[in-house]
Structure 1
Amino acid sequence: MALSASSRKERLYKLVAVSVGLLCILQAAANIGLRLSLYGCTANGKPDLEEIIKNLTEKEEDLKDHYLKRGWVYFNQSFYSISSSQMSWQDSRDDCLQNGSDLIIITSKEEQDFARQFKKRTWIGLTDRETEGTWKWVDGTKLKESYWRTGEPNSYLGSNEDCGEMWPHEEQHWNDLECSYKNFWICEKALAQ
């Protein structure tokens, strides 16, 4: 007994509808399974905060191991690396960016003191290239707390000193310098990034 064309169409539509329904059910089950395995849930189906914290702590430890094995130094929720060569400010920043970090952003006296321990003149992530006299960090935030040497920044003798460097041998030791100057640099990778 041959089916009519309309009967075949009807069967095809039913088959497609059932298939799509099954796919939706499978997708929902997969999503629930992934959430449970990723976050862990309590018996009532809500996320288990202890399990989430444990997972995040494990990921944080893995990240710490990764950077420490590469010779980075850990301090106050960030990793730091000082270069072994000298480059311009932009080339230094590009090097940091290629490593998933950026030039150091100094946000506290403690971080300033920590960075001084590297004992080299280094580029920091500070520039006024966008607007002369308006110093900003590489993340776009304006400079609030600063550690300029006396008389700095000064664009010495009218030169185009638009990039910030650190001098390790003085308490107040930032200096503005031409960005093309070759310097060591410090990369920073914040743990929360």
Structure 2
Amino acid sequence: MGKPNDPEFQNKVIRAAFDLFEAPNGPVLENFSEVIPVRDGRMGYALPPELVLSTSDIGDMDGLLSEVAAEMEALRPDYEAAILSRGRTTVGASELSIKDFAPFVAEFVKGNIPNSPRKGLPAIPLLKLVVEDLEAYYTETRTHRDRIDDLELMGRWFWEETKAGRLLLLLEAVSVASDNKVMLQIVEMSLMAPRFWSEGPLPGTSAAGW
């Protein structure tokens, strides 16, 4: 809510929201008085439309998984430091162990729908939570380690430079080509990759999220 790594600004937003309860009549819809700058007119976390992979880009999945595992292990000390500093983490919605995030995603990239390890939660809804956990692991680590509050920089780093970002882009490609309507819907709602604010719909989708 507001600027990353800026508790003072975030508290201002929260206080302004609570102040709306003092309005004599409601419901009340009011813009916050300050605007977070958006460079080039686009939200920082929006993927550029040209950054699209296809199923032909999949290649050696075992090799990619090894690279993601090494990448995550290298980030682990800083992730743990981030938790100690903040006293909390948003990682954990899936209830999978961190080391299982990438292998679970990879099964879908390979064309499989694995059994869900969580009772009462099917594999595809769980996949959405795993994707969120994987992104949060990277984001929380980097924002703490390097004190980054530039969402565009964070998005460019994760989606264009990390192996985990590539894994999720491959997942998106498989989902677009899939006959599974739920997986395609997840893509169209920009719940798999942040395309909602990009300049155009992802090829192969109905553009329902635009």
Larger radius of gyration: 1
Point out which structure has higher relative CO (alpha carbons under 8 A, 6+ apart).
2
TM-score (norm. length: structure 1):
0.21
Q: Which of the pair is proportionally richer in helix?
A: 2
Q: Whose strand proportion is higher, 1 or 2? A: 1
